[in-house]
Structure 1
């Protein structure tokens, strides 16, 4: 293994080792108010961006901005070409940038947040940010590695990107394949059986590649769940109704954290250790965002938070 991967593995373990972890997140969730939670956040890696936060959306955005900064630092330690491993794993930040370009669902005016600065983790942001309309945005996506989402409604654009992110991760990051397929299952289940939406053709095609045509063509949630391949079925185990998919979402994050921790413990430096660090950093941020929401509600959501983690 090259010296570059050895250095990257050391850096990856160091970044992941600074996470507050489940116990730290529980302390943050106890608040009992957002101000208390932010004071607890200050000495953590999230404190750098959270120090100017004054409300819950700002605090949660500071947490995700911290993860992006950590991934960019990690990308800088990878050997030449190694950053390509992280690009699909950072796709959520580019999706968030696109969401900020789209009209708000309630049509209320508001200032869009500054786009995340992606650097080497960009997929096609420089060609997407200039799109003035959803139609132009669809065309830009179709000409990029994201692919055509199948329609130019805001929902179709974002759903297409989310399924494409799972497809790209499945292809490019073998260590994350199990997570990608389960994420695709969650997305398809939520859109089809909670919101009652038919997936656009390109999204159906990606779903079939990831989950198999039998699951993708299922007419009911029960059939969908039972026809999933083993690589994705685990995430919906014991989730009997689509209205309780939040339990599956929490299971997905707990599994990502557990698998990432196992990858970090691998003795040999290499891509697996880096992917493990991304998993641990991302799962920790998800927990801390939930903890901040619990604190902002004065602890009223603490039972729900405890059920998540």
Structure 2
């Protein structure tokens, strides 16, 4: 046991314990208005950069910004392997930045990018890409790999599957989550939108899901051929149109696993990964609660069904 792991795991547990939690999220969801919910939120770890007069989109972005800051702090306390694991688990922020960059190249306004700091993999170079082809070239020359196509959708799908494959390979305690994520991404891309996986994206999907599942021509066949490590993510989903429910249930499942990782007195990678996952799940639930409050509680039934 090294001093670095002791400090890192101790900090991880403290940060996870300070998250808002399900009870606070439900209080936000049942607030009479978004502004009232934001006043409550100002008393939590999400107060950093929060504007209590913000609209729904701005408020949810502030929650995401606060989560990213927490992950940067968490990574900063870790030995090298722990920081690398947090970087992988925070890959969604670089994917979001890349999505916004691609949209801006198509003429849409580009919001301020997430400030990734040491959690970046290729973002400084991606931010300077002047076309989707250049985005693809930057990805191909980085740990992300070449997604096999230069269309914006293929680029982002390739990034998501790359993140899942690298997480499974380098963060074994999170491999179960990564396989479930890959199943959801592949199901949406192939069986909902009707696109094909190509290049490294297909290779990553095969690595996590198997050739039989990735080659399936129908959704039910795909689901039946998934390995047990990934099949859980699609449990109860009969049609591709219901994938959004499976995607929402992914987070509570991850959070339950994270609670087990945080329990006990281990001083290694496990509580660090558990803390990163617990913080991510908490932010997801808070964003859902703010959406509910913005709708005047009309989505409360869906909120309770999805987040418990």
For residue 205 of structure 1, what is the aligned residue in structure 2? 203
1:70 has 2:70 as partner: yes
1:54 has 2:54 as partner: yes
Q: Closer, same or farther in 2 for the Cα pair 1:153/1:53, shift >3 Å?
A: farther
Q: Contact conserved, 2:146 with 2:199, CA < 8 A, in 1?
A: no
1:137 has 2:142 as partner: no
Q: Closer, same or farther in 2 for the Cα pair 1:135/1:108, shift >3 Å?
A: closer
Q: Contact conserved, 1:53 with 1:62, CA < 8 A, in 2?
A: no
Structure 2: any 5+ residue segments left out of the alignment? none
Structure 1: any 5+ residue segments left out of the alignment? none
For residue 10 of structure 1, what is the aligned residue in structure 2? 10
CA distance in 2, matches of 1:118, 1:269: 26
For residue 83 of structure 1, what is the aligned residue in structure 2? 83
| Aligned-pair CA distance for 1:49 | 2.1
Residue correspondence of structure 1 range 251-270 to structure 2 within 5 A: 251-270=249-268
> How far does the alpha carbon of each residue in 1:216-239 deviate from its partner, in whole angstroms, 9 at most, with x for none?
001111110010000001111221
SS of the residue 2:196 aligns to: coil
| Aligned-pair CA distance for 1:122 | 1.2
State the TM-score, normalized to the length of structure 1: 0.96
Residue correspondence of structure 1 range 133-212 to structure 2 within 5 A: 133-212=131-210
For residue 213 of structure 2, what is the aligned residue in structure 1? 215
State the TM-score, normalized to the length of structure 2: 0.96
SS of the residue 1:146 aligns to: coil
For residue 295 of structure 2, what is the aligned residue in structure 1? 297
Q: How many residues align?
A: 307
Instruction: Give the RMSD, CA atoms, in angstroms.
Output: 1.5
CA distance in 2, matches of 1:109, 1:205: 32
CA distance in 1, matches of 2:28, 2:133: 42
CA distance in 1, matches of 2:269, 2:293: 36
Q: Closer, same or farther in 2 for the Cα pair 1:81/1:271, shift >3 Å?
A: closer
Runs of 4+ in 1 over 2 A off after TM superposition: 79-82, 107-110
| Aligned-pair CA distance for 1:243 | 1.3
| Aligned-pair CA distance for 1:52 | 5.9
Q: Closer, same or farther in 2 for the Cα pair 1:52/1:30, shift >3 Å?
A: closer
CA distance in 1, matches of 2:167, 2:41: 31
For residue 26 of structure 1, what is the aligned residue in structure 2? 26
| Aligned-pair CA distance for 1:131 | 0.6
Residue 245 (structure 1) aligned to one of 237, 243, 247: 243
Q: Closer, same or farther in 2 for the Cα pair 1:69/1:150, shift >3 Å?
A: same
